[in-house]
Amino acid sequence: MSVPRIPAQRTVVVVGHGMVGHRFVEALRSRDTENQWQIVVLGEEPRAAYDRVALSSYVGVWDPSTLALPGNEYAGDELVDLRLGVRADSIDRGAGKVFTSDGDAIAYDAVVLATGSYAFVPPVPGHDRPECFVYRTIEDLDGIRAAAQGAGPGAVGVVVGGGLLGLEAANALRLMGVTPHVVEFAPRLMPVQVDQGGGAILEKLVTDLGLHVHTGVGTAAIESAEDGAGVRVSLSDESVIDASLVVFSAGIRPRDQLAREAGLEVGARGGVITDLGLTTSDPNIYAIGEVAAVEGTCYGLVAPGYSTAEVVADRLLGGSGEFPGADLSTKLKLLGVDVASFGDAHATSEGALSVVLHDAAKGTYAKLVVSDDASTLLGGVLVGDASQYAALRPLVGRPLPAEPAALISPAGAELGADALPDDAQICSCNNVSKGSICGAIAEGACDVPAIKSCTSAGTSCGGCVPMLKKLLEQSGVAMSTALCEHFEQSRAELFEIVQVTGIRTFSGLIAQYGKGSGCDICKPTVASILASTASEHILDGEQAALQDTNDHFLANLQKNGTYSVVPRMPGGEVTAEQLITIGQIAKEFDLYLKVTGGQRIDMFGARVEQLPLIWQRLVDAGMESGHAYGKSLRTVKSCVGSTWCRYGQQDSVAMAVLLEKRYRGLRSPHKLKLAVSGCARECAEARGKDVGVIATENGWNLYVGGNGGLTPKHAVLLAGDLDDDTLIRYIDRYLMFYIRTADRLQRTAPWQESLDGGIEHVRNVVCQDSLGIAEDLEAAMARHVAGYKDEWAAVLEDPEKLSRFVSFVNAPEEADPTISFDNSGERKVPVLLGIPEIPVTH
């Protein structure tokens, strides 16, 4: 294939189309205003450049397009010839040609080697077995996924390597339903990034999440299992792990074979030797990214790779750019655990001192490395909580604004953006300084997206985004509270608009107060507001089109496209007849049963067309929707209270039933969970709920703002020794105040913390009526209680609503043939057949 060339035009061949190769093309095209260079890009993989750093996010979505880098196909740019699935086989330096796997010979004026690296597989006996994989590309993950599905329930996977990629691979296995074992030869996980103390906390945190960690041992051999299914992995301490698959993630090596065969100078440990201008031993050939050994050193991070790409783009246009050095700082979240390291994290500098805060109870570890006089920051490690990373990393090599211990202590100094000088690097991925960001803000960049567009800060790993927000606040820019691009108002403002105007449709609201046609943010939010302010059915008229997947079918969508059915059991109470009905339904429809943490029974595996048949049986048995699918009240958990328990001080079951029946169907910004304990022994775990009630000798103590999830919060005491009527009145006010003023998908704990005055403000509003709205809040709850009707009962009475419960609109009698289950083990489990999962907001 030949490319038309302008007479004065030169050709550069880019070998490799990964993240760095793509960055080079973007940099050259944006700077080459005179169109001096024709670019030919050879991409060995079958798809254009994608975000390999975010490879783990592919798991569960299984859609490669979600990883695609913006503009990676160079549509409409005649000066970029992208050839996918084409490999560079050799370089004839004398003739000035690159020979490709499809038989072409491309004449070049310059070559840019962006071949990256490959996953290192140690020479362990058995490493080449079909059960062994590496974790490097989308195709690798597809292969691991197929092996995991073939292994079935209870599968075990071994990950060789406990570094960054190893833990990401382990998390991927976990998300695929495989129990991961991580084998790391070093004495701790992530030995390059964290020290011994940080590694200990990290190991505890990931072990609590279900990983099995083996540190200080190597992999000795991989052999066939005795039963022929899977493999036996022998470790150097003579222990054995029976597994279904093995994933090697033991590091990377530069892909320098093409350069070696072309006679270019390579390093003793691999990589193409370059000078600071990224020029190889051939002045017409450059190397960038992981394959480049800049003055003998290879860098395996994307940020220095981007720097090399920028330098070569400058050099090809006559500049004299040089590699500025590499910031090897890292901030990431592994299995929900924050890990960050920056600067001299291991205190190797002469005279370096370490200041450590190790809180085993909270699962956090923070270390600052400082100069011998404790005045200059040299580096640090953060595990469990990396919220200070964005402020601390730019201070490396600079005087500390406060005592080191105060900077990492929860009760210590708050490190603001004003502590950083203008030349401090805020975005290490794209080498953007504080001064550049503040300059963009001064020129009109008034939010984070605008700063990203102007400066590229925050467009790669995103670790600097919190600091971008701080810089906006420091510059006096008011942070936008807009719900989305279609509504300038916040959720709370839209709630008030709906209440005051009486608008009852999304189209009416967006026509008067918004713009455009809406999105998957504002539509469900407005649907929730409409449901919170009236008792109309969520599937009536236009509202039906606003709901997310779960509310659309009044059931929770599961991994394989089936749904779960959860009938309400107020306070955990259920009759024998209702239990028998549930058992009969499960047997007839072949459903998997599980008792939930909210004291009810979940039935898994129902196809969409089966939902009305199942619910008809449940409604006939006197049961209602449990709203497990909605942003609404889920359950009110209770102990047996004074009725049965010898320690009980009040009838917790009766109170739980009363509360659950009162607030059932109440739509809110996020899910709501309540609990009632009959005494201070707290068997219902009320202080872990949004609203928790605990019996006392004199009545009830009311706790609010407890949440589980990623950042658990204990509820705090709102009022004590309340009688029944006062308790219910306060809960009415609290819930309606939350529903009116919280942001989209904001749970009660962060909502309380975000209010000026926090819990004291809530107490004044709810208990003292400081805003004079108590009567209005109580009236709103009374309207909800009076207007409640079971959603599923209403569906069963309405043929139009029933018509939506089909797998195929054009074949309503047909069942979805892609849905299947594995019943070979003790538990029925869904089988995934390669269909992309539909993202659901929980």
Percent of the chain residues topping a pLDDT of 90: 52
Query: Token pair for residue 598?
Result: 């909210």
Shared domain for 227 and 281, answered yes or no, is no
Shared domain for 216 and 304, answered yes or no, is no
Contact yes or no for 647/511 (Cβ under 8 A): no
Instruction: Flag whether pLDDT at 66 surpasses 90.
Output: no
Residue 801, CA distances (Å) to 133, 544, 549, 552 in order:
48, 9, 15, 10
Give the count of domains, the chain. Answer: 3
Q: Report d(CA 619, CA 635) in Å as an integer.
A: 18
791 in a structural domain: no
246 in a structural domain: yes
Angle at 613 between CA 612 and CA 618, to 5 degrees: 90
- Render pLDDT for 794-821 as a digit per residue (tens, 0 to 9): 999 998 888 878 765 455 566 666 677 7
Mean pLDDT of 12-36: 95
Mean pLDDT of 134-163: 92
Mean pLDDT of 621-648: 92
520 in a structural domain: yes
Contact yes or no for 593/605 (Cβ under 8 A): no
Residue with tokens 């890292």: 330
Query: Token pair for residue 10?
Result: 């030169």
Contact yes or no for 126/132 (Cβ under 8 A): yes
Shared domain for 114 and 155, answered yes or no, is no
SS3 content of the chain, % helix, strand, coil (to 5): 35, 25, 45
Contact yes or no for 289/252 (Cβ under 8 A): no
What backbone phi and psi angles, to 5 degrees, belong to 512? Answer: -90, -30
Contact yes or no for 296/267 (Cβ under 8 A): yes
Shared domain for 273 and 236, answered yes or no, is no
What domain range includes position 33?
10-118+254-316
Instruction: Flag whether pLDDT at 14 surpasses 70.
Output: yes
The dihedral through the CA atoms of 752, 755, 756, 761 has a sign that is: negative
Q: Which residue(s) pair with 716 in the sheet? A: 704
> What's the mean pLDDT when you consider all of the chain?
87
Q: Report d(CA 41, CA 372) in Å as an integer.
A: 50
The closest alpha carbon to 106, from 47, 42, 49, belongs to 42
Contact yes or no for 113/285 (Cβ under 8 A): yes
Does 438 carry a binding-site annotation? no
Angle at 312 between CA 309 and CA 315, to 5 degrees: 155
Q: Report d(CA 522, CA 520) in Å as an integer.
A: 6
Q: Report d(CA 402, CA 219) in Å as an integer.
A: 46
Instruction: Flag whether pLDDT at 646 surpasses 50.
Output: yes
Does 446 carry a binding-site annotation? no
Shared domain for 140 and 99, answered yes or no, is no
Residue 480 pLDDT: 67
Residue 841 pLDDT: 36
Residue 840 pLDDT: 37
Residue with tokens 């370089």: 91
CATH number of domain containing 305: 3.50.50.60
Residue 363 pLDDT: 82
Does 683 carry a binding-site annotation? yes
Shared domain for 35 and 91, answered yes or no, is yes
Does 639 carry a binding-site annotation? yes
Contact yes or no for 452/445 (Cβ under 8 A): no
- What's the one-letter identity of residue 157? G
Residue 470 pLDDT: 78
- Render pLDDT for 279-309 as a digit per residue (tens, 0 to 9): 999 999 999 999 999 999 998 888 899 999 9
Shared domain for 142 and 212, answered yes or no, is yes
568 in a structural domain: no
101 in a structural domain: yes
Residue that terminates a domain, selected from 501, 519, 547: 547
Residue that terminates a domain, selected from 250, 265, 286: 250
324 in a structural domain: no
Shared domain for 136 and 244, answered yes or no, is yes
Instruction: Flag whether pLDDT at 1 surpasses 60.
Output: no
57 in a structural domain: yes
149 in a structural domain: yes
Shared domain for 244 and 273, answered yes or no, is no
Angle at 302 between CA 11 and CA 329, to 5 degrees: 150
Contact yes or no for 225/158 (Cβ under 8 A): no
Residue 35, CA distances (Å) to 38, 73, 245, 311, 585 in order:
8, 18, 50, 18, 70
Shared domain for 291 and 310, answered yes or no, is yes
Angle at 226 between CA 220 and CA 230, to 5 degrees: 70
pTM over 0.85: no
For the ranges 159-163, 167-171, 481-485, the lowest mean pLDDT is seen at: 481-485
The closest alpha carbon to 211, from 159, 248, 263, belongs to 159
3-class SS string, 415-466? CCHHHCCCCCEEECCCCEEHHHHHHHHHCCCCCHHHHHHHHCCCCCCCCCHH
Q: Which residue has the higher pLDDT, 754 or 189?
A: 189
Residue that terminates a domain, selected from 316, 336, 359: 316
Shared domain for 244 and 262, answered yes or no, is no
Q: Which residue has the higher pLDDT, 474 or 190?
A: 190
Q: Report d(CA 157, CA 491) in Å as an integer.
A: 44
Residue 838 pLDDT: 36
Helix (H) or strand (E) holding 769: none
Shared domain for 140 and 196, answered yes or no, is yes
